[in-house]
Every structure is written in structure tokens, then in C-alpha cells.
Amino acid sequence: MVDSITVSVKELHAYGVSVLTSIGMNKQDALTIADKLVLTDSWGTFTHGNKLLGDYVTRLQAGGTNPLGRPRIVSEGPAWAIVDGDNAAGQVGCDFAMRKAIELAKLAGISYVGVKNTSHFGAAGVYPAMAAEANMIGLAMANDIPSVCAPGSRKAVMGTNPLAYSIPAGEHPPILLDIATSTVAGGKVYAALQRGETIPTDWIIDSDGNPTTDGSLYPLKAALAPMTGHKGYGMALLHENLAGVLTGASISWQVLNWIFDDKTKPTGHGAAFIVINPEAMMPLDKFFQRVDDLINEIHNSPTVNEIEHLLVPGEMEWKRREAALIKGINMPSDVVSKMRDLDNQIGLNTHWLN
């Protein structure tokens, strides 16, 4: 069993850049990807941070993702753009798209930027966080190969199609939510299985269309359940339309599984970003004050005994990041194991990993 390792944000970042440049990616794109994976790990969202780097590298080396891909704008208007991700890494195409969305919203007040020919973009929350950093409200959506049932289906019909958003505040860190439209992500099913636990009845649906507590059926003989039935299914369908249909990306079962499907072929994912610039509509300090007032009201709401105060989405993550910047990140053993394998495979001999 591998131990967890505490590593500084700086060293973790340098590791990601070294891995990616060593397989032929240019420095700028490597920095972009490393930024996002480290930000995600510093939030404590280890399922979507550097744990994924090994699988990204596999696809980049096999050619399914293009390490030299150059995202470009294929069409645009006063408040929108469609980006061709050129099959570069998801983070590269989507960082490009979110920056364009921020630029457009500055003048127009709101913007939509859709991306086609992209791939798995990591944690959806990293893109709205860019908007919040620019004092704007950001939303991110994506599609994926189906793994989630609809009410009445015996098979997955929608991807986990996430939604993330961020809203900047004054005295508080930005509100930041990042959710899948399934009840839980597939990773939670695996984790329960590894711990030998049965799972709640609303997590997965077997191939007869019935809820089951047997996590071992997933994913071959069961699909994830949509959150609150028709509600999660309906939201997944909205994201499929904004990220897939409207961008010209692959849709639904046309999207390839970025880990398991043919690694030499583009996955064809789509993504969508909406940015709103509050400063266009009211003085920024007034907006911040109103967001702060709302957060303070929530913080002062009565709680169940063991809870000090109610949290707003992202509060826990920003606290973890603050600590991580000072004390480093304690990377869990499963992530360390993956990173060490990748390190050996590439022959980097990163000192803190070995």
C-alpha cells in the first residue's frame, strides 16, 4: 500500500509541467493544464486533479488527443463565439473558450462560448473560477458519453453532463458549485464497492430499470441514476444541447469514453460557457455587498447542533486551498500511486514522489 504524500503546490505544479512538456506539449499549454489540475487538488477534489494526468498522457501519446492542437474561433458575434478545440486537451480548448467568454462579456454584459472537438475538461469548476477572478459570474457545462439513466430507461441515455458556476463576492471567497447531474458520480460507486458497502437505493439503476444497492453491477449491468429523477435528466439534456447540439460537437453516444475507448481517436466532447458581467448592470461594490449580505444571512441561519455554520458552495474548497498554499497538499495514496506510475513510465524520477 502506497502512503499519502504531502507536497507543495509549487512542486506539484512543476511535476505536471514536466510530465506534459516531456511528451512534446509546448510550455504554455502544459502550464494551463497543470494550473487547473493543481487548483482542483488544492480544493480537495482529488478525483479530478492530477489523478487524471496519467490517462490524459496515454491519450496524448496515442494521438487521440493532439498535444499540438491549437484551439481557434470558427465563428463569433457581439456576445458569442464557437470554438474549435482542434482536439487539443480539454483544458487547453476550454481555457481558451472561457477567456474569450470573459472578454466578450466585458462589453456585452453576457456571453456564450461553445466548444466542439474538445475532450474531458477536468473539474468543471475551474472555468467559472476564472470568471470570478475577473469579477464576473461564470457557468460551465459539458456533455459526455451516456452513463446515466432517464426515468423509465433500462440503459444510460445522458452523460453525467456537469454544471459548475461561480459568483464573486466582496469579503467572502467566490461562491463555487460543481455538480454532476446524476445523483452521484461513478467514482462514489467504485469507492463504496472498495469499502465493501452496499449503496443507497437512489445511486444506480440496473438493466431492468430498477434501483439496486449492488454497486458491483456498475457500469456494465447498471447505469447511474439522474439526481431527483426527471430533474437531473432534464438538466443533463439542457447541458447536452448547449454543450453538444449548439456547438457542433459529438452528441450523446457519439462521444467516446475518454479513458476506455479507442485511444487513437478524438473523443469529440463539447462544452459551453456563459459569463455575466455584473459591473455592466450595477456598481461592482454594490454587487459584492449584496452577495456578501446573502452569504452572511446564510451563515447566520440556525443549524443542527454539530454544525458551526451553514456553508455556501465552495467555502470548504477555498479554505482547503488557503491551507494548501501554506502547508502543501496531502495527496491521497491512490493518487500518489497513479502519479508514481506515470513518473516511472516517463522516467522523470521526481524526487518527492520516489
146-185 residues in contact with a copy of itself (CB under 8 A) are 150-155, 157, 163, 165, 167, 175, 177, 179, 183
Q: How many residues bind a copy of itself (CB under 8 A)?
A: 73
- Based on the shown chain and the rule CB under 8 A, indicate whether residue 187 belongs to the binding site for a copy of itself: no
Nearer to a copy of itself by C-beta: 68 or 74? 74
Interacting residue with a copy of itself among 193, 217, 280, 323 (CB under 8 A): 280
Select the span of 21-29, 38-46, 91-99, 290-298 touching a copy of itself (CB under 8 A).
290-298
Among 61, 53, 44, 57, residue whose Cα is nearest residue 13: 53
For residues 61 and 237, is the Cβ–Cβ distance under 8 A?
no
> Closest approach of Cβ 197 to a copy of itself, in Å?
19
Contact residue for a copy of itself among 2, 14, 31, 311 (CB under 8 A): 311
Q: How far is the CB of 332 from a copy of itself (least distance, A)?
A: 21
Set of cell numbers at residue 282: 450595477
What strands, in cross-sheet order, belong to the sheet with 110-118?
A: 72-77, 80-84, 110-118, 269-276, 137-142, 163-167, 175-179
Stretch that binds a copy of itself, among 24-32, 263-271, 308-316, 328-336 (CB under 8 A): 308-316
Q: Which of 62, 68, 73, 282 binds a copy of itself (CB under 8 A)?
A: 282
Give the interface segment with a copy of itself, choosing from 59-67, 74-82, 324-332, 345-353 (CB under 8 A).
74-82
Give the CA count within 13 Å in the CB-facing half-sphere of 158: 31
Residue with cell 477567456: 99
The interface with a copy of itself within residues 314-343 (CB under 8 A) comprises none
Longest dimension (CA), the chain: 55
Does residue 107 touch a copy of itself according to CB under 8 A? Answer: yes
What does the CA dihedral 45, 51, 52, 56 come to, rounded to 10 degrees?
Answer: 150
C-alpha cell at position 250: 459529438
In this structure, the chain runs to a length of 354
The residue within the footprint of a copy of itself, chosen from 56, 80, 127, 218 (CB under 8 A), is 80
| Residue list 4-63, contact with a copy of itself (CB under 8 A) | none
Task: Considering only residues 110 through 149, tell me which ones interact with a copy of itself, judged by CB under 8 A.
Answer: 110-112, 114, 137
The answer to whether residue 238 forms part of the interface with a copy of itself (CB under 8 A) is yes
Query: Contact, 335 vs 42, CB < 8 A?
Result: no
Measure CA 221 to chain center.
26
In the set 253, 262, 322, 344, which binds a copy of itself (CB under 8 A)?
A: 253
SS3 188: helix
Distance of alpha carbon 142 from alpha carbon 160, whole angstroms? 9
Minimal distance in Å, beta carbon 199 to a copy of itself? 15
The span of 48-56, 119-127, 207-215, 322-330 binding a copy of itself (CB under 8 A) equals: 207-215
Write down the least CB distance from residue 243 to a copy of itself, Å: 12
Q: What is the nearest approach in angstroms of a copy of itself to the Cβ of residue 312?
A: 7
- Can you name the residues that pair with 72 across neighbouring β-strands? 84
211 preceded by cis ω (within 30°)? no
**Residue number, 112 or 258, with CB nearest to a copy of itself:** 112
- Using DSSP, state whether 148 is helix, strand or coil: strand
Contact 7, 328 (CB under 8 A): yes
Are the beta carbons of 163 and 156 closer than 8 angstroms? no
Grid cell 459568483 is found at: 167
Using the rule CB under 8 A, give the single segment among 65-73, 86-94, 277-285, 329-337 that binds a copy of itself.
277-285
Indicate which single residue of 50, 117, 252, 350 sits in contact with a copy of itself (rule: CB under 8 A): 252
Q: Which secondary-structure segment (H or E) carries 271?
A: strand 269-276
